[in-house]
Amino acid sequence: MALVAGGYLAMSGTTAGPAAGESNSEARKGGWLTQVWVGGSRVDPAEDRANPQYVGASSKKKTADDSADPAAPKRSNEEGKEDLFRPGPQYDKNYDAQKNVDIYGAKIAVEPPRPLELGRQQYTSGIYDESSTLLGQLNPLLPGLAIYGDWRTAVAYNKNNGKDIAQIATRLNIDVDFKITGTERIHAFFTPIQKNNRFTRFEFGGGAGDGRASFEFDPNPQTLFFEGDVGSLYSGFSGKQAGFDLPFTVGLFPLFLQNGIWANDAILGGAVSLTAKNSRKLGLSNYDITLFAAFDNVDNPGILGADKRNANIYGVTTFIDAFAGYIEAGYGLIQGVKDRVDGQLTNFLTASYTRRYANTLSNSTRVFANFGNGTNDEGFAIISENSLISGLPSTLIPYANFFVGFGNPQPLVDGNNAGILKNVGINFETDALTGYPKLDDTASNAFGGAIGLQYLFNLDRQIVFEVAMVEPFEDDGIGAQDTQFGFGVRYQVPINRAWLFRADATYQVLAKADEDIGDTFEDSFEDILEGNFEDNFEDNFGIRVEFRRKL
């Protein structure tokens, strides 16, 4: 207790002195603290005694009533001890004790839809059967098979590049996960009722609708990979604790980097990671490094064309907590191995920095570059993602994202043929189901951005409003040739724990070729409002509703 009290005085910076009615000699002789702490003396209770702390109330300055009485009688050493501690909390009339108890005692079990499970179930409690030690005593088997996914169905009417189609389309995503141990598993992902980007659908209206039902089928897995940890396997086989972690994967595995902007594809190869590392010399509290390579199923149509079997890919990526923020960086190399890209080498670089400034602004700045000896394989882009921290920081999120691009900036790999701007805003996204229109997402010799507002209510639903623009500054024949504007809205709400409802709408204005958007927009503003702008503009629009069922 002496150490605690001494530490309290040292931290509080209070100057010690004899109490009222006591001499210095008496303080040195009788004070318990002064006998332990040489040179110390009794604390004046008038200066150090804390005011009562009211729960939920801010502290107040001391008043004259709190000061010590000069004529106070001499106090015992026991009273002195009590003066060294703050009094217990006192509760005001608005304090609700039951609500505080309910935080712990009024919880109820939430039973979400569970997957089809065989063997050891996920997130359950109870007494389990003894595990097999086929892979060693230190890496016991925990076998369990889980099959889960979601089913999406959307009704949409879209006008895109002069074609309008009304349709209902559906897709089924199925994950199959076979857990072997706590760190090893085999995972597969199937999309059985679609073929590449063609979905099972019925086009029932619109000028370009064919009036037919089309059923697509593909039993092949979209991913199929083994995932494990060398450290755990070594511990099991050797009977000794490895003392290190070295996770790895082999097979047709998903590569998802920079929030899917730089990489979003399943590639056939392998990867290994050094995770949760730190460096005292460099002042890094946490960082990861991942090495990856693939020799088939490499999707980069912007550089390689439609063939995804004509190149190899090699790369490294890192995640670092540093400089009061978060850093992500990577390098990739695509090596053409046959046909028209044989011998082609294209380098890809990316880096990003994310942090919060003055509790007011959250910013992520991302840089992408690619260069090599191929055709149209050089490009550079910067994307700045910003959100303001409002008075409702968890639910009301104003955001403004901006970009500028030069040449032909490309993601490393993307299985959906999406461009580098896919995450700039909802007007740059399609729906991967009905052909929902989007603004040009290549960032090829263009600048622009999206400004929007997202509101999450009580964290039980979402609504987003957004305006966006793409302004090309050079006609290179790759991306947008003329100015584009987009106006979008999104709303989604869970119906229950299994069903989700979502609705989207977008309206996009595209300037026609050989028009100066500034002059045209000013001169034709009234025509735009009236919808009579065919001579200078064309429009795309989409409206869709979707129901999603968790399986």
Question: In this predicted model, what pLDDT tens digit does every residue of 184-205 receive, in sequence order?
Answer: 999 999 999 999 889 999 999 9
Q: What is the token pair recorded at 483?
A: 């100015």
Are residues 367 and 435 both part of a single domain?
A: no
Is residue 402 in some structural domain? no
pLDDT band at residue 525 under the 50/70/90 scheme: low
Is residue 32 in some structural domain? yes
Instruction: Please count the other Cβ atoms lying within 10 Å of the Cβ belonging to residue 460.
Output: 9
Whether the CB-CB separation of 255 and 267 falls below 8 Å is answered with yes
- Domain span including residue 547: 424-551
Are residues 65 and 180 both part of a single domain?
A: no
Pairing state between β 54-55 and 90-91:
parallel
Are residues 337 and 471 both part of a single domain?
A: no
Query: Is 75's pLDDT higher than 80?
Result: no
Q: Which residue(s) pair with 190 in the sheet?
A: 174, 221
Which pLDDT score is estimated for 144?
Answer: 94
Query: Is 455's pLDDT higher than 50?
Result: yes
Query: Is 338's pLDDT higher than 80?
Result: yes
pTM for this one?
0.78
Which pLDDT score is estimated for 535?
Answer: 66
Which pLDDT score is estimated for 26?
Answer: 41
Are residues 207 and 155 both part of a single domain?
A: yes
Dihedral through CA 372, CA 375, CA 380, CA 385, nearest 10? -120
Q: Mean pLDDT throughout 455-482? A: 93
Distance, CA of 146 to CA of 169 (rounded, Å):
27
Are residues 121 and 86 both part of a single domain?
A: no
Q: Which residue(s) pair with 550 in the sheet?
A: 150
pLDDT tens string 346-359: 999 999 999 999 99
Is residue 193 in some structural domain? yes
Are residues 71 and 145 both part of a single domain?
A: no
Are residues 314 and 386 both part of a single domain?
A: yes
Query: Is 305's pLDDT higher than 60?
Result: yes
Q: What is the token pair recorded at 327?
A: 């850093």
Q: Of 366, 390, 414, which closes a domain? A: 390
Are residues 435 and 506 both part of a single domain?
A: yes
Is residue 412 in some structural domain? no
Residues 6+ apart with CB under 8 A from 306: none
Q: Three-state DSSP class for 197?
A: coil
pLDDT tens string 235-244: 999 999 998 9
Which pLDDT score is estimated for 20?
Answer: 41
pLDDT tens string 264-298: 999 999 999 999 999 999 889 999 999 999 999 99
Query: Is 520's pLDDT higher than 50?
Result: no
pLDDT tens string 101-141: 887 777 777 788 889 999 988 888 778 888 999 999 999 99
pLDDT band at residue 9 under the 50/70/90 scheme: very low
DSSP letter at 481 equals: S
Distance, CA of 161 to CA of 542 (rounded, Å):
12
Query: Is 74's pLDDT higher than 80?
Result: no
Total domains present in the chain = 4
Which pLDDT score is estimated for 534?
Answer: 66
Q: What is the token pair recorded at 261?
A: 């902007």
Whether the CB-CB separation of 426 and 464 falls below 8 Å is answered with yes
Are residues 323 and 216 both part of a single domain?
A: no
Q: Mean pLDDT throughout 56-66? A: 46
Distance, CA of 204 to CA of 163 (rounded, Å):
14
Which pLDDT score is estimated for 533?
Answer: 57
Is residue 416 in some structural domain? no
Is residue 228 in some structural domain? no
DSSP letter at 258 equals: G
pLDDT over 70, % of the chain? 80
**12: enclosing H helix or E strand:** helix 2-12
Is residue 232 in some structural domain? no
DSSP letter at 206 equals: S
Are residues 520 and 467 both part of a single domain?
A: yes
DSSP letter at 182 equals: S
Query: Is 246's pLDDT higher than 70?
Result: yes
Q: Which contacts of 206-213 are long-range, i.e. CB under 8 A and separated by 24 or more positions?
A: 206/157, 206/159, 206/163, 206/164, 206/165, 206/166, 206/167, 207/163, 207/164, 207/165, 208/163, 208/164, 208/165, 209/164, 209/165, 209/166, 209/167
pLDDT band at residue 337 under the 50/70/90 scheme: very high
Which pLDDT score is estimated for 69?
Answer: 52
How far is C-alpha 158 from the geometric centre of its chain's CA atoms?
29
Length of the chain in terms of residues written: 551
**Distance between start and end Cα atoms, the chain:** 58
Is residue 264 in some structural domain? yes
Q: Of 374, 390, 406, which closes a domain? A: 390
Residues 6+ apart with CB under 8 A from 376: 302, 303, 408, 478
Q: Mean pLDDT throughout 358-374? A: 95
Are residues 306 and 384 both part of a single domain?
A: yes
Are residues 301 and 345 both part of a single domain?
A: yes
